[in-house]
Homo-oligomer: A and B are copies of this chain.
Amino acid sequence: MRVFHDIEPLRQHLESERKNRRVVFVPTMGALHKGHGACVATARSVSEALVVASIFVNPTQFAPGEDLAKYPRTLDSDTEHLRRWHCDVLFAPAVEVMYPEPQHAWVEVEKLDDPLDGRFRPGHFRGVATVVAKLFQIVRPDVAVFGQKDAQQALIVRAMVRQLAFDVELRLARTVREDDGLAVSSRNLYLSANQRVQAAALFKALEAARRSLESGERNPRMVETGALDTLRGAGINRVDYAEMRNADDLSALVAVKGRVILALAAHVGTTRLIDNMVFDVRDDGVHADVMLY
């Protein structure tokens, strides 16, 4: 695996490689886990893929008061993971490489960034869209892979790609879960043993919603209430949201029909966790846990 910390040597390397291979890009913030492994595997499955991962803890996507300073930085073990997953190229820039001057140029995706995490993390998606745009300019991927766990991010990146005419094909990797259903996340490292047990309630809440939909419930408020009850039953009282929305544009739902998402954000101790499940609700039944795109 070739490792680059600067933009120009990376660009030159990719320029020569892309003649024969498709550049398939997996942007990450490091602290790599099985979820990232699934993204790299998805990237690897593209034919003729040259798999390029990036590790960059992007300061502009952390809202004031969030965990930028304590976000885990584990470059050595991350590098080992990537080698083991047969990643071809790692781009791991310093903050000064990505932001050499005060940043005033931003990419913003309106509407999609209004609800859910957009309400609770001011500036977060502007930071995400901007750094993804910038990484796309640097890596110029043919294909880029994101995780379905960050569903709102995945929709925002899709809108950005379409509406700013990026010549990139997007693929999603399925959410990877621990045995008890907890979605793997770098932030799970923050959880104590007791909190780790409690955190499984997020997946239980999604499962409760699935059962509710499968038993015929079509009132989104009732499904949300069932999910909330599950969280509260596990002692999780600080819930930012438990909302069902249209899975394509995140618009509000009056009735559950078509492709919908149940998105959760809740605090377990001082750790904020998110999770989601996408459903395709048709006349002939409910298809649960489908891909966002």
Contacts and interface: CB of A to CB of B under 8 A. Distances in A.
B109 A163 contact: no
A160 B165 CA distance: 16
Taking chain A's interface residues, is the majority helix, strand, or loop, or is none over half, making it mixed? mixed
A29 interface: no
B101 A106 contact: no
A132 to B, nearest CB: 11
Interface residues of A, number: 28
A207 B7 CA distance: 44
Contact of A107 (B7, B11, B107, B166): B107
A139 to B, nearest CB: 10
Interface string A100-133: 0101111111111000000000000000011001
A165 B134 contact: yes
Contacts of A167: 11, 137, 140
Contacts of A105: 107-110, 129, 159-160, 162-164
A111 B105 CA distance: 9
A162 B107 contact: no
A138 interface: yes
A130 B112 CA distance: 18
A133 B103 contact: no
Contact of A165 (B108, B110, B137, B164): B137
Given A104-B112, A105-B107, 9 more contacts: A104-B109, A105-B110, A105-B164, A106-B107, A108-B108, A130-B164, A137-B164, A137-B167, A138-B165
21 contacts: A7-B165, A11-B167, A101-B163, A104-B109, A104-B110, A104-B112, A104-B163, A105-B129, A105-B162, A105-B163, A105-B164, A106-B107, A106-B108, A106-B110, A107-B164, A130-B164, A133-B164, A134-B163, A134-B165, A137-B167, A140-B167
